[in-house]
């Protein structure tokens, strides 16, 4: 039996703000409403469904997005234009750098709720 990721829920304080932020950085269409979620659809049929949490802490998660070279250029430009801090590593020890692992490019940045987002042009270990 084949298994594919279909969607995941992203917990946030403001689903409109958080879903719009991700859609903008990735150059995706505007998020759409589905029940109580705001949905950001990706090209491989997977969606990120943003759900508001009114109480308690938001546990930070990591979401990595494999994108093409020209899409990386555009997304990285939007990250820099927004003044968003970014790093070459998930430990956030190399600020204002990108990485070049396995012949690709990658960068980490945070969304409005502190989730660590990553864009990369080549899967790690794919050298």
CA distance 107 to 121: 10
Question: What's the pLDDT tens digit per position in 31-67?
Answer: 999 999 999 999 999 999 999 998 989 999 999 999 9
CA distance 107 to 120: 7
Domain boundaries, the chain: 7-120
Query: Looking at the predicted structure, is the pLDDT value of residue 103 above 90?
Result: yes
Q: How many CA atoms lie within 13 A of 125 on its CB side?
A: 0
Give the pLDDT of residue 38: 98
Give the pLDDT of residue 54: 86
Q: How many residues does the chain have?
A: 127
pLDDT band at residue 127 under the 50/70/90 scheme: low
Give the pLDDT of residue 105: 98
Question: What's the pLDDT tens digit per position in 62-99?
Answer: 999 999 999 999 999 999 999 999 999 999 999 999 99
Query: Looking at the predicted structure, is the pLDDT value of residue 126 above 80?
Result: no
> 15-26 and 69-81 helices cross at what angle (nearest 10)?
130
What does the mean pLDDT of the chain come to?
Answer: 96
CATH architecture of 7-120: Roll (3.10)
Q: Are 99 and 84 in contact (CB under 8 A)?
A: no
């Amino acid at each position: 039996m084949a298994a594919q990721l279909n969607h995941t829920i992203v917990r946030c304080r403001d689903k409109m703000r958080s879903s719009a932020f991700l859609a903008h950085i990735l150059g995706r269409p505007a998020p759409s409403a589905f029940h109580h979620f705001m949905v950001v659809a990706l090209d491989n049929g997977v969606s990120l469904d943003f759900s508001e949490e009114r109480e308690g802490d938001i546990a930070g998660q990591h979401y990595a997005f494999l994108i093409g070279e020209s899409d990386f250029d555009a997304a990285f430009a939007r990250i820099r234009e927004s003044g968003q801090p970014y790093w070459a590593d998930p430990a956030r020890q190399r600020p204002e750098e990108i990485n070049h692992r396995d012949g690709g490019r990658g960068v980490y940045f945070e969304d409005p709720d502190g989730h660590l987002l990553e864009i990369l042009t080549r899967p790690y270990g794919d050298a």
